[in-house]
A and B are shown apart, each in its own frame.
Chain A
Amino acid sequence: MASYALFLGCAIPNHQPHLELAARKALAALTVPVLDLVGATCCPDPVGIPGLSHAGWLAIAARNLCLAEELGADLLTLCNGCYETLKQASHELEDKAVRAAVNEVLAPLGKQYEGKTRVVHLVELLHREIGPGEIARLVKQPLKGLRVAAHYGCHLVRPSEVLGFDDPERPVSLDELVTALGAVSVAYPRKMLCCGAGVKGMDKEQATNISRGIAREKFLNVKMSDADCLVVPCPTCMAQYDGNQGLIERAYGEKYELPVFYYAELLCLALGVPPADLGFQYHRVKVERALLKVVQPV
């Protein structure tokens, strides 16, 4: 297996480090060779920054790609946003003229990008390079009976022409990875709906209301499926569904009480990592009820 330079991004290490903990533990349990990426900055944010300056966004991303290239490693992201930015940027930098122009910006920093870095998302690594079959074989504590609603998020699969991973409308990878753990991946309406966290807007209140309205539709749809929990592959979707769930409940006068897991957390549990070794105390929506279905109380 190739070695992977771990690109942490912003939202995981600086906002939800318990997701980093789960990812690191899962990678260690699967003996994936991981290198730290010293000097990395923001990817930068694929929703906001290109709308201010495509050139600046691309050059900052190219610099991050350089760091992995210097290590001779593939770049591993734990976040859909970082995946979109870095993979879209590496795609645009395949054009020699674009690469030459970006390298002019990087030259004063002593950096040159040669176009060698391959960008891989954690879900892509698990599904395409390790495989659900191998993961199922390694499971020690099957998550039997746990009903999981898989949420892919947008930037794991779209734009499909550039990301080239799974179907943009009817993906299967995350569902297969859920099933590999012994859990049930439930069907629910509008599965590919955006989490809504990316709404910016000139009018802050309007943007917040739209963002919450989009997330609410997800909660209502998932509740119809009688799922025990949601699983996400992205810290931004996690912050929206876990961090903001209480605010959305209050805004609409509804109760969802839907635990949200980052996929690496479920993977850790199935691989036999004790729940006390993960950071479940930092989830905003209590996960105990879902955990009790599959893990023996300590």
Chain B
Amino acid sequence: MNEELELLLQELALAEKVRYCYQCGTCAGGCPVAGAEPSYNPRRMLEALARGEGEAVLAADELWLCTLCHTCLERCPQGVGLSHVFTRLKEIAAARGHLPESLLAELQTLYSAGRVIPLSGPIKRRRAQLGLPAVDQQSGLADLRQIVEATSLGRVLAAARAKGEEKNG
């Protein structure tokens, strides 16, 4: 684990800009997820953070619905950088083991296959039918696993494994 790297990246985080929010609601107005699901409201999430209710935001399922389209980041008149703030919050929640099953599965696939979408037999055949070259999926895999284990990705993976064993054991 590289603590220095973790700390540097914490410094890069934009969470302190949250206090610039003046609750205009531009973020919620342009948000594709809020348009489809009224319970999701980025303005309210910012309000909760400003009130010191960060724990509630971290625990809320809604945190994970952001598609990272960055519309809020582009439009925010105060430059709060919401989509990056939400990503940072997700990271904190994930470190506590609060993350969607689908995302955990994605990380497990990344670790086992080196890609979030692995190559299946039918697609391998389709590539050959289309005359495409075989893709080398192996030569970077050991490096990728080493990076996962050297960073906090490894901690998320290990915590999930422990949780799985607890459930099965």
A-side interface residues toward B, CB under 8 Å?
8, 10-11, 13-15, 17-18, 20-21, 24, 36, 38-42, 44-60, 63, 92, 95, 97-98, 101-102, 104-106, 108-109, 111, 154-155, 158-160, 168-169, 192-194, 196-204, 206-207, 209-210, 213-214, 217, 279, 282
A98 with B9, Cβ < 8 A, contacts A51-B87, A56-B153, A198-B69 known: yes
Q: Mark B37-72, 1 if CB is under 8 A from A, else 0.
A: 100100000000000000000000100110111110
Q: In the complex, what residues of B have CB within 8 A of residue A97's CB?
A: 8
A-B contact count (CB 8 A): 227
Q: In the complex, what residues of A have CB within 8 A of residue B151's CB?
A: 53, 55-56, 59, 105
Return B40 CB to nearest CB of chain A, in Å: 8
Classify chain B: how many residues form its interface, as a range.
35 or more
* Contact of B126 with A56 in the complex, beta carbons under 8 Å: no
A14 to B126, CA, bound (A): 10
* Contact of A58 with B136 in the complex, beta carbons under 8 Å: no
B29 interfacial by beta-carbon distance below 8 Å:
no
Closest to A42 in B: B115
Interface of B is mostly: helix
Closest to A153 in B: B69
A41 with B141, Cβ < 8 A, contacts A52-B103, A158-B69 known: yes
Q: In the complex, what residues of A have CB within 8 A of residue B61's CB?
A: 201-203
Closest to A169 in B: B74
Kindly identify, within residues 67 to 102 of chain B, every residue whose CB is under 8 Å from any CB belonging to chain A: 67-71, 73-74, 83, 86-88, 90-91, 94, 99-102
A47 to B33, CA, bound (A): 14
7 tightest A-B contacts by CB? A56-B153, A51-B90, A198-B67, A213-B36, A56-B151, A158-B70, A194-B69
B32 interfacial by beta-carbon distance below 8 Å:
yes
B166 interfacial by beta-carbon distance below 8 Å:
no
* Contact of A101 with B123 in the complex, beta carbons under 8 Å: no
Q: In the complex, what residues of B have CB within 8 A of residue A104's CB?
A: 2, 4-5
Pairs A–B under 8 Å by Cβ, sample size 22: A13-B132, A14-B115, A14-B117, A14-B120, A17-B123, A18-B126, A41-B114, A45-B116, A49-B107, A52-B91, A52-B99, A55-B6, A60-B147, A60-B148, A101-B4, A104-B4, A108-B150, A200-B64, A202-B64, A203-B61, A204-B100, A282-B126
A8 with B102, Cβ < 8 A, contacts A17-B130, A41-B143 known: no
Q: In the complex, what residues of A have CB within 8 A of residue B130's CB?
A: 17-18, 21, 279
Closest to B147 in A: A59
* Contact of B70 with A109 in the complex, beta carbons under 8 Å: no
**Additional A-B contacts beyond A39-B136, A199-B65, A213-B35 (5; CB < 8 A):** A55-B9, A105-B151, A201-B61, A204-B100, A210-B36
Return B161 CB to nearest CB of chain A, in Å: 14
Q: In the complex, what residues of B have CB within 8 A of residue A105's CB?
A: 2, 5, 147, 150-151
A41 with B9, Cβ < 8 A, contacts A51-B91, A154-B67, A196-B67 known: no
A52 with B90, Cβ < 8 A, contacts A13-B127, A196-B32 known: yes
B135 interfacial by beta-carbon distance below 8 Å:
yes
A154 to B74, CA, bound (A): 11
Closest to B107 in A: A52
A15 to B147, CA, bound (A): 25
Return B116 CB to nearest CB of chain A, in Å: 5
B162 interfacial by beta-carbon distance below 8 Å:
no
Q: In the complex, what residues of B have CB within 8 A of residue A101's CB?
A: 2, 4-5, 8
Closest to B39 in A: A206
Q: In the complex, what residues of B have CB within 8 A of residue A217's CB?
A: 35-36
Return A104 CB to nearest CB of chain B, in Å: 6
* Contact of B5 with A13 in the complex, beta carbons under 8 Å: no
A158 with B71, Cβ < 8 A, contacts A210-B33, A210-B36 known: yes
Q: CB within 8 A of B74: which of A15, A158, A279?
A: A158
Closest to A99 in B: B8
A202 to B64, CA, bound (A): 7
B15 interfacial by beta-carbon distance below 8 Å:
no
* Contact of B118 with A14 in the complex, beta carbons under 8 Å: yes
A194 to B67, CA, bound (A): 8
* Contact of B74 with A160 in the complex, beta carbons under 8 Å: yes
A106 to B67, CA, bound (A): 29
